[in-house]
Amino acid sequence: MASTSISSSISFVHPISLSHGKNAEVWDVNGKRYIDFVGGIGVLNLGHCHPRIVDAICDQAKRLTHYAFNAAPHQPYERFMERLAAFVPVSYPVSGMLTNSGAEAAENALKIVRAHTGRTAVIAFDGAFHGRTLATLNLNGKVAPYKQKVGVLPGPVYHLPYPSKDTGVTTQDALKAMDRLFSVEIDIDEVACFILEPVQGEGGFLALDIEFAQALRKLCDEKGIVLVIDEIQSGFGRTGQRFAFTRLGIEPDLLLLGKSIAGGMPLGAVVGRKALLDTLPKGGLGGTYSGNPIACAAGLATLDEMTDANLSAWGEMQESIIVSRYERWRDQKLSPYLGRLTGVGAMRGIELITPEGHPATAQLAALLEAARNSGLLLMPSGKSRHIIRLLAPLTIDSAMLNEGLDIIEKCLADIR
């Protein structure tokens, strides 16, 4: 268990202490080996200690470990931003800034949209997760545990139902709720931005309805509202392509990035339309560690590996195997608790539900423990923590992916 010198407000899914890892495997301090389907909660799409990324980190550490980009620009930041701008598949020239994390990217996006629109209201969605900092807490689409005991949060923020085949909320349901919001709660002309995940992470790997996404894009264009898309977890190949928003047939005005952007190094970004990014006065954006040279070097190595061919091959392999295994379990009636397969591409969740139709939270907790004892690390998600997130590295081989799914299969069959 963790040292008493660490705050007890930090929770642990797995009460183990890790020593080292390689690609899709990790080992604890006792030498026990685990297949890793957590991946640092979506940070390690290229696996643990990818050789190309490790080499880039070591090489940069010999040259320049840190310089605050606000004080004096450095080449790793400049080179990475050029590559990142080219990597984002939109029709307009991309501008942006680097941050230390996804939550920091979201915070900066809020500053940018306020400055650009002169408005303050934000609309987010039920089940959303955008960070743990004070402003991002209010964007999150559930209270426990993130909003508990912290008092009044920065706002105004309003929430709408998240339309998805995985939630049962239709586009018509969400649009009706939006009509009510604008007639009862707030004037649409006071709204600065909508913020959404194309595939919710913490929410349970729920894929946004395409029809709604396109209707929302049209509304934002008509009303001068900024559309902020959060791809902190779904981006960098998680769904089998660079970013999940391309599946929706729309483009963001601002895009939030983090997690797998730099192979495990702390890095995030907010990128988008130059007119938005240039709104604040000189000095309005930045940070001491934002765009650290070592993190940028890791980011460059990450982009070298994330070719469209690689992302497509990795995503298709994972999707094919996961969907095939799930369909077999369903057809075999492997477990009375087996619910839906959520998500898209290689970003998939397995829902556990009771025979009465309630979230099987206790059963999922038992399954996580059983899987860990059998050598597999899993992560829960969903409002009731009843959906397994499958976040194996994209670079996992098919044999190890199947080995991990074998463990899930046995644990599902044994669950009571």
Query: What ranges do the domains of the chain cover?
Result: 53-305, 308-414
- Distance from first CA to last CA of the chain, Å, rounded? 27
Dist. CA 217–CA 222, nearest whole Å: 9
- pLDDT score at 2: 59
pLDDT digits (tens, 9 = 90+) for 242-301: 999 999 999 999 999 999 999 999 999 999 999 999 999 999 999 999 999 999 999 999
Correct CATH for 53-305 of 3.40.640.10, 3.30.1180.20, 3.40.630.10, 3.40.50.720: 3.40.640.10
Query: What are the percentages of helix, strand and coil residues in the chain, rounded to 5?
Result: 40, 20, 40
Dist. CA 180–CA 57, nearest whole Å: 51
- pLDDT score at 3: 75
Dist. CA 416–CA 404, nearest whole Å: 21
Residue ranges, the chain, pLDDT below 50: none
Count of CB atoms within 10 A of residue 403's CB?
15
Dist. CA 262–CA 105, nearest whole Å: 15
Dist. CA 380–CA 94, nearest whole Å: 35
Dist. CA 350–CA 97, nearest whole Å: 35
Which CATH code fits 308-414? 3.90.1150.10
Structure tokens at 86: 């080219």
Q: Decide the pairing of beta strands 206-207 and 226-230.
A: unpaired
3-state secondary structure of 25: strand
3-state secondary structure 32-84: CEEEECCHHHHCCCCCECCHHHHHHHHHHHCCCCCCCCCCCCCHHHHHHHHHH
- pLDDT score at 416: 84
